[in-house]
Amino acid sequence: MAEYKNPNQPGGGGQDSRSLLVFTALFVAILVGLQYFKPKHPAAPRPSTTASSPAPASAPAAANAAATPQPGAAQNAAAAAPQITATQATTTTVENELYKITFTNRGAQVTSWILKKYTNYAGKPLDLVSPEAAQRFGYPLSVFTSDPNLRQQINQAMFVASASGTVQAPTQLSFQYSAGGLTVRKVFTFGNDYVIHGTVSATRDGAPIGAMLAWPAGFGDQRQAADYSKDQKIDRSSYSKAESLAPKKVENRQQMTGSIDWGGVSDLYFAAMFLPDNPSDATFVTLHHTLDVPADPDQPNSKLVPQPILGAAVGSAAATSSMRIFAGPKTLSVLKSIRGTGPNGKDTGPDLVPIVHYGMWSIIAKPLFYLLRWVYQHIVPNWGWAILVLTVVITLAMFPTRWTMMKSSIKMQRIQPQMNAIKEKYKKYKFDDPRKQEMNREMQDLYRKEGVNMFGGCLPMVIQFPLIFAFYAMLENAIELRHAHWFWLHDLSQPDPLHILPILMVGSQFFFQLFTPSPGVDAAQQKMMAFTMPLFSGFITWHYASGLALYWAGSNLIGIGQQMLINRTKLGREMRAIQARRAARKKGLKPAAAVRR
């Protein structure tokens, strides 16, 4: 699979050099683009700081049920409803095997959403709630309304909760508030998976308010500037068509109405998605704020960099907004099991798999991941070793393309004298001279006579390029590699902290090219590529996921072994002989004996 580094191209002289330069330029341009647009992930852990919650957690549980009549109510019928408020702030925690969610009765919103099977950069349980962002822009499952004053009033109101303390799922938790003509009710139902069900209804003076449930402020997994600027996205599906918006394309409080299958916010590994019970009557609102984040997360006093904070809200213009809410990891198996509400009112709509962003390589990257997961589940239960096993499989599977490329190259070298004679015959004519077409026809006749495909050496490389970048996209988006261990590597989704793999990759790539004969490439150009490409690839793997460096280095080592075996074959000996003859001519020495055909 590392053949893209192989300078062995078909043809001789200028044609091979031009082909090599074209593919090298294309490859380098893509890698430079990835390096430019891909911010580096953090390499060192830092415990997340805890911001003050909007509701104290120390209030006694008994105060949660306090319902206090309020004097001086309005005399109209809407205000005559019983007034319900809590006298003290309390918390209620709901948990199952997957999560631990803490609600405050101030605003009936979430102050902590811990995923038990995942850890943060400090090795502690991962909290999806970002304390700094949530305190400024709103907590998960808070209410969003078009009126900011009303929104603040509801999210600061003292609701009465149906339970306090810690309760185990499956269960139901409700919150009620009524005062001054404003009545709000929230009900949440919890099961054994990552999905909960929520409803919210609100009226003012008896008239319904368009109240929505919101996830306003990103995730607690976002730690440095790169996590905010690149990894955040707004994902939504309307009329079964999925759409993903980068931060620069997200407008604050932009609304979409109609058939909303699902929608929400996600980062590289986690997502919060709302799935309306009635998609045809749903409204989706995007939220976009800005937060100053330390440029270096390990130095809180470092320069602050403004970064986007994305959020979303979903609801209905009806009196009650009802929906399912998924907040959890972006594992394909989980996302595939969660579907929007179909026309029959059941969970038969589009699934959430599109929120995993493989980009243009999705058609290749997704099967690669399924194969990697199969290796992990059935052969070796370690993601590092699974990557190496998959590397062996892919490299061996690509061997026929390497062999085809070498056969095409040797055929082109054999007919090089005839090709040069044809070029010499027509070199006196200008490029636009009609007689140049005769030269092309003679070349084509020569190719057919000798059974040479002029693109035979290029097509294998064209096939391998998408595979390389699909593997990269797959490794970047696989949450399974997050915090996955392999020997000295404690996180295969992060760069190698000791830089052992990038150094091994550079050395193995250099020796791979050293062992690969390239008779159709100029010696000076070959020497340049032998040094520049390994160094450039080492720079890439120095900053990207160590899982990618592991794959790349493993592919190079296997390629070296394959090439040593090829060099012992008749084809390999012939290629090296042609290369030696070409080098001798360049130095003005007597050419070697004619190559046997």
- Tell me, yes or no, whether 200 and 98 share the same domain: yes
- Tell me, yes or no, whether 570 and 465 share the same domain: yes
- Tell me, yes or no, whether 245 and 312 share the same domain: yes
pLDDT of residue 30: 58
pLDDT of residue 537: 79
- Tell me, yes or no, whether 400 and 511 share the same domain: yes
Residues sharing a CB contact under 8 Å with residue 104, sequence separation 6 or more, in sequence order = 53, 54, 55, 57, 89, 90, 91, 110, 111, 139
The CB-side HSE value for 472 (13 A sphere, CA atoms) comes to: 20
Domain of 112, CATH number, reads 2.70.98
Q: Among residues of the chain, what percentage have pLDDT more than 70?
A: 78
Lowest mean pLDDT among 24-28, 172-176, 236-240, 417-421: 24-28
Residue 390 has pLDDT above 90, yes or no: yes
Q: What is the mean pLDDT of the chain?
A: 81
Residue 421 included in any domain? no
* C-alpha to C-alpha distance for 76 and 78, rounded to whole angstroms: 6
pLDDT of residue 91: 97
Residue 12 included in any domain? yes
- Tell me, yes or no, whether 260 and 372 share the same domain: no
When divided into structural domains, the chain yields a total of: 2
- Tell me, yes or no, whether 19 and 71 share the same domain: no
Residue 294 included in any domain? yes
- Tell me, yes or no, whether 371 and 517 share the same domain: yes
How would residue 22 be classed by pLDDT, with cut points 50, 70 and 90? low
Residue type, 185: R
pLDDT of residue 430: 80
How would residue 5 be classed by pLDDT, with cut points 50, 70 and 90? very low
Lowest mean pLDDT among 167-176, 193-202, 398-407: 398-407
Of the residues 321, 349, 377, the one at which a domain ends: 349
Residue 179 backbone dihedrals phi, psi, to 5 degrees: -170, 145
- Tell me, yes or no, whether 292 and 394 share the same domain: no
pLDDT of residue 23: 53
- Tell me, yes or no, whether 93 and 32 share the same domain: no
- Tell me, yes or no, whether 26 and 160 share the same domain: no
- Residue 554 pairs in a beta bridge with none
Angle at alpha carbon of residue 373, lines to 370 and 375, rounded to 5°: 110
pLDDT of residue 534: 80
pLDDT of residue 226: 66
- Tell me, yes or no, whether 340 and 371 share the same domain: no
Residue 65 has pLDDT above 70, yes or no: no
Higher pLDDT, 36 or 374: 374
Lowest mean pLDDT among 127-136, 155-164, 356-365: 356-365
Mean pLDDT of 79-99: 89
pLDDT of residue 401: 79
Note the pLDDT tens digit of each residue in 446-493. 888 877 776 655 666 677 778 878 888 888 889 999 989 999 999 998
Residue 278 has pLDDT above 80, yes or no: yes
pLDDT of residue 14: 43
- Tell me, yes or no, whether 101 and 140 share the same domain: yes
* C-alpha to C-alpha distance for 477 and 41, rounded to whole angstroms: 13
Is there a cis peptide before residue 39, judged by omega within 30 degrees of 0? no
Tell me which range, 10-24, 150-164, 219-233, 391-405, is most confidently predicted by mean pLDDT.
150-164
Of the residues 319, 349, 379, the one at which a domain ends: 349
Q: Among residues of the chain, what percentage have pLDDT more than 90?
A: 44
Q: Give residue 164's domain range.
A: 61-222+241-349
